[in-house]
Amino acid sequence: MDTTPSSAPATESTADLIQRVANRVPTRLSYYDKDLVCRFANLAHAQGFGKTADEIVGLHISEIMPAATLPEILPKVAQALSGESVTFETQRSLADGTEHFYEIHYIPDFHESEVRGIFIEMNDVTERRRIEEMVLRANHDLEERVRERSAELFESEQRYRLMVDALQDYCIYFIDENGVVTDWTESAQRLHGFSRQQMVGQNSDVLRQLEETEDEVDLVQVLRLATANGQWETRGWRRRDDGSRFWGHTVVTALRHQTGELRGLSCITRDMTAAKHLEDVMNDLNRELEKRVSERTQQLVAANKDLDVFSHMVSHDLRAPLRHISNFIGLLQEQLADSEDPVIKPYLLAVSKASKRMSTMIEGLLEYARLGRVALETQPVPLSPLMHGVIEHLKREHSDRHIEWVIDEDMPVVLGDAMMLAQAMGKLLDNAVKFTGKVEQARIEIGWRPNPMGGRMFYISDNGAGFDLSKAQNLFVMFQRQHHSMDFEGTGTGLSLSQRVIERHGGRLWCETAVGQGCTFFFTLPCEEVAPEMNFGFSALAELTS
């Protein structure tokens, strides 16, 4: 029998034509008679056993099929020979050792109601089975992931439910874009008292105490603002089912899909009644405190004004008698110039010094009172040239002294009254010059550093006598001195005047010192962020301190 696909001769028989056509079909086709002898096989069927069609035609099925497969197929063959079609799928090994899956059909060959044999059709479904197995595995993986994700979501939902339902001072519920309640949690029921059946489908506006509300905006605006901004906060009195109310702070949050589509809004409300009552009490206390402070301020302003007027009048009234005393002392000194009495001259000298000291104290008191009345003329004042101007003035006053002056050249520009600041700096520097009078190598240092409390801090440091700071509770009080006038001259007004100037500028003045270890005065002043280019000549600033 010819099994090649070559062209058939003109005298080709019908059997040869059928064989040639069957050989071109990939399906494995064969025919066995009722004795199970192979009577026909196409090329695909024969090659599966490593043979040609001519080699297997005439062989018994037991000589063709592997012995291991006979127990599987013989019952099905017997079933087909009994007249019943059989279809099944199974795996077969080919002659080349590869494994293939086949869909096999055993079809009875009826002839005059008698089965004379069976047709066997074997369709290779290996690729289909591979795809089915891949899909099956993918389905199994997907089902497993779905189960895991469902378990995670269930656990997350349980945690969420437990959290939401366990809230005490808070509650959460959900509304749609129109404000209608879509989900009412147990925490919401616990805080408001309304049940789920009462609230789901109701407009959430029923929760507001409309008769006495202090909400920033109404519900429609809250929904619009929360939808537009993602979140909005509102506060006001809220209703409970029993008719009572509480002060609620509500955060409304828009809930959106990843695509941006609005799913609804969540409302988280906190009971802030205690805080509201405390705030009301604090507001009442603040109003009362502000009233008392205002009254006290008015009293202090009046008292300070009266004190300034009194100081001014007393100072002026005392100056006239002092002038008379000074004049009469001068006349007495002229009249008694030739006196040989050893007691008169020292007494007159002591009275003259006391008169001058009292005059100086009155001048200081007048200046102190004036500083409380005069208005500040605030402007940018560069400290470096101001300090240099003051120093030049002091050098001229103490030309016999050799003092080492150390001053930072990058002193900031401060905001203040130039005349007042020059006066205050003059008092502080004059104080440093005075108390270094008994030091062989006097040194006075002026500089600044960052203030730990913010801003800038300035200092004037000397290596003079110093004093016991623990005994200087009245350091900045008028006419209070830390040294005897026989050791260091002065009236005790300089530090008081300096403190008043600095405090009027919103600053602070303090001191660090010890006996025999010098003294450092620190002070703060308001500064400009960016110092402008300004140039004051030393002579002009010296005029301010003269």
Least confident span in 71-75, 174-178, 533-537: 533-537
Mean pLDDT of 55-68: 89
CATH 3.30.565.10 maps onto the chain at 376-545
pLDDT tens across 307-340, in order?
A: 666 666 666 666 667 677 777 777 777 777 666 6
Mean pLDDT of 521-539: 62
For the beta carbon of residue 165, count every other beta carbon within 10 angstroms: 15
CA geometry: angle at 439 spanning 433 and 442, to 5°?
55
Entry pTM: 0.40
CATH 1.10.287 maps onto the chain at 278-369
Architecture of domain 167-271: 2-Layer Sandwich (3.30)
pLDDT tens across 268-286, in order?
A: 888 888 888 888 888 888 8
Closest CA to 23 of 8, 45, 1: 45
Domain 14-124 homologous superfamily, CATH: PAS domain (3.30.450.20)
> Does the pLDDT at position 3 exceed 60?
no
Burial 45-81 (b: 16+ CB within 10 A, else e): bbbbbebebeebbebebeebbeeeeeeebeebbeebb
- 278-369, what's its fold? Helix Hairpins (1.10.287)
Following DSSP, what letter does each residue of 109-133 receive, concatenated? EEETTEEEEEEEEEEE-HHHHHHHH
Mean pLDDT of 367-382: 75
Which is more confident, 529 or 169? 169
Predicted local distance difference test score (pLDDT) of residue 8: 46
> Does the pLDDT at position 520 exceed 70?
yes
Distance CA(518)–CA(461), nearest Å, equals: 7
CA geometry: angle at 449 spanning 461 and 455, to 5°?
125
Predicted local distance difference test score (pLDDT) of residue 210: 61
pLDDT tens across 103-143, in order?
A: 999 999 998 888 999 999 999 888 888 888 888 888 888 88
> Does the pLDDT at position 539 exceed 60?
no
Predicted local distance difference test score (pLDDT) of residue 546: 42
Question: In this structure, are residues 264 and 255 in contact, taking their beta carbons and an 8 Å threshold?
Answer: yes
Closest CA to 362 of 474, 476, 500, 491: 491
Mean pLDDT of 25-42: 91
Predicted local distance difference test score (pLDDT) of residue 199: 92
Report the amino acid identity of residue 371: L
> Does the pLDDT at position 14 exceed 50?
yes
Average pLDDT, the chain: 80
Mean pLDDT of 47-54: 87
Q: Give the torsion sign (CA, 218, 223, 228, 234).
A: positive
- 376-545, what's its fold? Heat Shock Protein 90 (3.30.565)
pLDDT tens across 475-485, in order?
A: 666 556 555 44
Three-state DSSP state, 239: strand
> Does the pLDDT at position 541 exceed 50?
no
CATH 3.30.450.20 maps onto the chain at 14-124, 167-271
Predicted local distance difference test score (pLDDT) of residue 38: 93
Predicted local distance difference test score (pLDDT) of residue 37: 93
pLDDT tens across 171-182, in order?
A: 889 999 999 999
- pLDDT > 70: percent of the chain: 78
Q: How far apart are the first and last CA of the chain?
A: 141
